Amino acid sequence: MDANRLSQGQLVAAIGAIALFIISFLPWFSIGQAITVGGTSVGGSVNRNMWEAENPLDIYLLIVILVALVPAAMAMLGDGAEAPLAPVATALLAGVGTILIFYQLFDHFGSGVSIKIGLILGLIACGAVAVGGYLTMQEDAGGERY
Amino acid sequence: MVGGRLSQGQVIAAVGAVVLLVGMFLPWIGVSGSSLPSGVNLPPGVANGISGAASTSDNIWKGSTLDIYLLITAVVALLPALLALTDAAEEFSFVSAATFLLGVVGTILVIAWLTVDFPDGADRKYGAFIGLAAAIVIAIGGFRAMQEEVAGEI
């Protein structure tokens, strides 16, 4: 493995993807659970990470992580296989992922749910993956802008 | 080319996008259950689904991130058709690839939502299957449009 084989964009995308994977295990949501029975309230709040939320976002962000990491791993291993769609896929899917996480800031399903630090950090990491994908697109096009 | 400007793949993707947009307003999830005992209050958001004796159904706009993703997918799938109609397709040549990618991932997400992420005790409604079929059609249309673009360059 040789990290010097990675372009700047691939490096940014790979670091963002690794950060996103680690951040996915931090608390993303807090769910207040209180049940009132005969005038007595029982309950508290429970933290949920990205994987525990009943939401397809976990599978989507896993796809983003894989799409960002696989081309970088192939480049580091010196695999000559060409993946011309990889930078576009990374930029597009991570860009949409950033929109989806941002959307979660305002639409987190009910008044009993609040956002936690993982969601904010996940937003930043996903944005970094998108920027890395875009930089790779530009590098591949030899400076030609999309 | 269909109609002189749109390729067959672009038409397929656009039809899939329109079906998806319509399908998103159909019932995707149904909840039926008996009344709760008197004096039992559930947290906000839960009560609407199960406290009534009658069955209720919701579309995809309520309760999932899938709504905004599928909206983006449908808009991107419609974009090549709109750009082709205005002769501006050359400026955004990667849109067919984007349609294909978003369609494939959308198909995966709807399947995951119908299986892994589906709420316990709820029923799958026909809107979800129409949405799944539309996402598959968008992916096929995007792939075909990509192939047509490559064939046009040779």
Q: For residue A111, what pLDDT is reported?
A: 64
- Which residue of B93, B105, B114, B132 to mutate against A (max A Cβ within 10 Å)? B105
Percent pLDDT > 70 in chain A is 81
How many Å apart are CA A72 and CA A67, to the nearest integer? 9
Convert the pLDDT of each residue in A12-58 to its tens digit.
Answer: 999 999 999 999 999 988 887 666 666 676 667 888 888 887 778 89
Question: What tokens were used for A130?
Answer: 């998108």
* Residue contact B45–A112, C-beta within 8 A: yes
Query: Residue B43 is nearest to which of A33, A92, A104, comparing CB atoms?
Result: A33
Convert the pLDDT of each residue in A49-90 to its tens digit.
Answer: 888 877 788 999 999 999 999 888 887 877 656 677 888 899
Task: Cite the DSSP H helix spans in B86-118.
Answer: 95-115
* Residue contact B45–A109, C-beta within 8 A: yes
Mind listing the pLDDT tens digit of every residue in chain B (154 residues)?
A: 445 577 888 899 999 999 999 999 998 888 776 555 555 455 554 544 444 456 787 888 876 778 899 999 999 999 877 776 776 655 566 788 899 999 999 999 999 989 888 888 888 889 999 999 999 999 999 999 888 877 776 5
Strands (E), A50-95: none
Does B111 reach chain A within 8 Å, measured CB to CB? no
Number of separate helices (H) and strands (E) present in chain A = 4, 3
Q: For residue A122, what pLDDT is reported?
A: 95
> Domains in chain B, ordered, with CATH?
8-153 (1.20.140)
Q: For residue B50, what pLDDT is reported?
A: 46
A100 occurs within a structural domain = yes
- Between positions 2 and 31 of B, the ones with CB within 8 A of A are none
Nearest partner of B135 among B103, B105, B91, judged by Cα:
B103
Q: Which residue of chain A comes nearest to B48, CA vs CA?
A: A110
* Residue contact A111–B45, C-beta within 8 A: yes
- Which residue of B58, B100, B101 to mutate against A (max A Cβ within 10 Å)? B101
- Between positions 92 and 121 of A, the ones with CB within 8 A of B are 92-93, 96, 99-100, 103-104, 109-113
How many Å apart are CA A77 and CA A71, to the nearest integer? 10
Q: What is the ipTM of this complex?
A: 0.79
* Long-range Cβ contacts of A45-53 (<8 Å, 24+ apart): A45/A114, A47/A116, A49/A24, A49/A25, A49/A118, A50/A23, A50/A24, A50/A25, A50/A118, A50/A122, A51/A24, A51/A25, A53/A28, A53/A29
Give B112's contacts in chain A (Cβ within 8 Å).
Answer: 56, 59
A86 occurs within a structural domain = yes
A1 occurs within a structural domain = no
Nearest partner of A68 among A130, A6, A7, judged by Cα:
A130
- Which residue of B65, B70, B94 to mutate against A (max A Cβ within 10 Å)? B65
Does A36 reach chain B within 8 Å, measured CB to CB? yes
Q: How far is A103 from chain B (nearest CA, A)?
A: 8
Query: How far is C-alpha B105 from the chain's CA centre?
Result: 10
Give A104's contacts in chain B (Cβ within 8 Å).
Answer: 65
A145 occurs within a structural domain = no
Torsion angle defined by CA atoms of residues A127, A131, A134 and A136, in that order, rounded to the nearest 10 degrees: -130
Q: For residue B77, what pLDDT is reported?
A: 92
Nearest partner of A18 among A57, A64, A75, judged by Cα:
A64
Structurally, chain A folds into a number of domains equal to 1
Give A57's contacts in chain B (Cβ within 8 Å).
Answer: 65
Q: For residue B129, what pLDDT is reported?
A: 94
Strands (E), chain A: 27-37, 40-49, 113-115
Is A97 in contact with A125 (CB distance < 8 Å)? no
Q: Which residue has the higher pLDDT, A112 or B22?
A: B22
A11 occurs within a structural domain = no
Q: For residue B52, what pLDDT is reported?
A: 46
Q: For residue B89, what pLDDT is reported?
A: 52
Query: What residues make up the domain containing A66?
Result: 18-140
